[in-house]
Chain A
Amino acid sequence: MESRVDRVPVMNSRRRVLAALRREPVDRTPVCNPTSVATVELMDLVDAPFPEANRVPELMARLAATGYTELGFDSIMPVFTIIQESSALGCKIQWEQKDNWPTVKMREPIWHNVEDIRIPSDLLTHQDTRCVTEAIRILRQEFGDEVAIIGKTMGPWSLGYHCFGVEPFLLMSLDDPGKTKACLDRMKEVTIQFGLAQIEAGADALTLPDHATGDLVSGEYYARYLRDLHIEFAERLPVPLILHICGKTVDRMEYIAQTGMAAFHYDSKNDPTESMRIVHNRISLVGNINNPETLFSKGPEQVRREVYKNLDAGVQLVGPECAIPLQTTIENLKEIPKAVRDWHREKQ
């Protein structure tokens, strides 16, 4: 594939990321992390360990900044977990320790019916949501316009898993589509409110994970339940949105490309060339560098190979496929921007 970067003046990280999200020319492909790149070693470096770094704004901002200052990525993404707003909604959280992710105790659902869904008045002032907005404010103040700051607001399908439990929510979607749609419709307001609060705090873009994952939910399901909601998010949240769905998702990329979202954060189970062909320049792609096998278990050479595969396919933004394992080596993470720079040098 031809380089898209000829004769583009040098950009700073923020401009580079935002241009790529709009599929405009860039001076080089941005290295972007729509999800966490925190590791235990980086936590030590800046003395901002989990779980505190998920609950204290100063620590969250400090740890997130290392993605830019230490790893050389073009973005900073401070929302490491997927549970911040679920905590504010009242879900029970297992906060874990430094070396593990907090999780929602989904066996103790907080909602069972449509009528149960109530957005608490303190949704945006709760410690775990306010931590995110405060961290974004700190980062914006510290870095100004030099680097893209990406927030995160969970989609209603993911919130459904957290608040109803995975099995009850999936069974409801099979047994009662009308009720499921009514639930999604109510929960979407959480996505909107938390997203708007982060934009107001200074986020340049938002990741929107909605875990209609390839293993449990079909492409047809995505079209039935989520496509229209995602179109609505793209209309109501006035920054570029990066949809995140794990797993093999080529069967729904056509629908995803119709949503008007800026980018799709896609999994390594999808071939970059095939994915680019399907989305056909209607949405940018980002991600695809494998986490468990490559970034976590292999070395820089393999990381470089995957980066090159994405760049050769014309993928607009390069980065890990999902939140990286907390024990990932710094060496492997630094290899991503190195490989991107080398690829562009080789193409010149």
Chain B
Amino acid sequence: MARTVDIGERLELVPMDQHCRNISLALYRQQIDAGSQFVVHTYSGLEGARQRVEFVARAMGVLGGMDSSSRDPVRLWFPCHAQHKMAVRRIFLEACKLPSGETLMVRPLTILDKKSNRTITAASLGNGIYGLEADGDEEGKAGRISAVAGGLVKLGEMIPSSESAERIAFSCGQPHDSIIGLLLIRALNVRAVLREQEIVASRGILSAPSAQKE
């Protein structure tokens, strides 16, 4: 009898979890009447696998401001019930980077940008809109804020403001401070994130001998 389960669309996969015996961890999305729900899953039956999945789900709840029920702790959803596909994938990947037992904390809306040596701050302006600010002198400030806003747009599938390069918004019209705090650190260097994604995606594809990179 088949043991694989139909648990929806797989959004993301960590093929080898360094914190739990190299098991694979996956994030699946299910569509229900109320909106999107997400399930953290592993097919591994190794000792500790179930606890690891539960930790990752708990970490996603904290890092991404997601809700879950005590009855089914590996099932999560955003309070707005929207999909936020790119953001939830990033939340999952960041949660998988944490060792089980790590203290979980919402990440702040302020970050030191080493590239420009400025502190960048995001502030919720209501209706899912966020404004970005940076301290320090004016030279290069607008450009750097615009770049970080662009990073958040890419990583969180947010909507750029047509009026201001410093403003971005979630399509659901709801605030998501936790997501912004989580993405802010990656938005400082989106290229590195994309490079990492490309490397992970290119692994596991078999090439003909003539096409192998030696």
Interface positions of A (Cβ within 8 A of B): 36, 40-45, 47, 49, 69-72, 82, 97-101, 103-107, 158, 161-162, 166, 170, 211, 213, 215-216, 246-247, 291-292, 296, 299, 322-323, 325-327, 329-331, 334
CA distance A47 to B53 in the complex (A): 17
Residues of B within 8 A of A162 (CB): 209
- The reply to whether A97 and B205 contact each other, CB–CB distance below 8 Å, is no
- Known pairs A99-B15, A246-B208, A327-B15; A106 contacts B4 (CB<8 A): no
Interface size class of B (residues with CB under 8 A): 20 to 34
- The reply to whether B205 and A325 contact each other, CB–CB distance below 8 Å, is yes
Residues of B within 8 A of A325 (CB): 204-206
Seed contacts A326-B204, A327-B13; 20 additional CB < 8 Å A-B pairs = A36-B206, A40-B16, A44-B45, A71-B4, A97-B22, A98-B22, A99-B16, A99-B203, A100-B204, A101-B206, A104-B209, A106-B212, A211-B208, A211-B210, A246-B211, A322-B206, A325-B204, A325-B205, A326-B203, A331-B10
9 CB-based A-B contacts, threshold 8 Å: A36-B206, A41-B43, A44-B46, A72-B2, A99-B203, A105-B214, A246-B211, A327-B204, A329-B13
B121 at the interface (CB under 8 A from A): no
CA distance A340 to B37 in the complex (A): 30
Which of B6, B45, B211, B212 makes the CB contact (< 8 A) with A47? B45
CA distance A104 to B23 in the complex (A): 26
User: Main secondary structure on chain B at its contact with chain A?
Assistant: loop
Residues of A within 8 A of B24 (CB): 40-41, 43-44
Distance in angstroms from B213 CB to nearest chain A CB is 9
Residues of B within 8 A of A322 (CB): 206
Residues of A within 8 A of B203 (CB): 99-100, 326-327
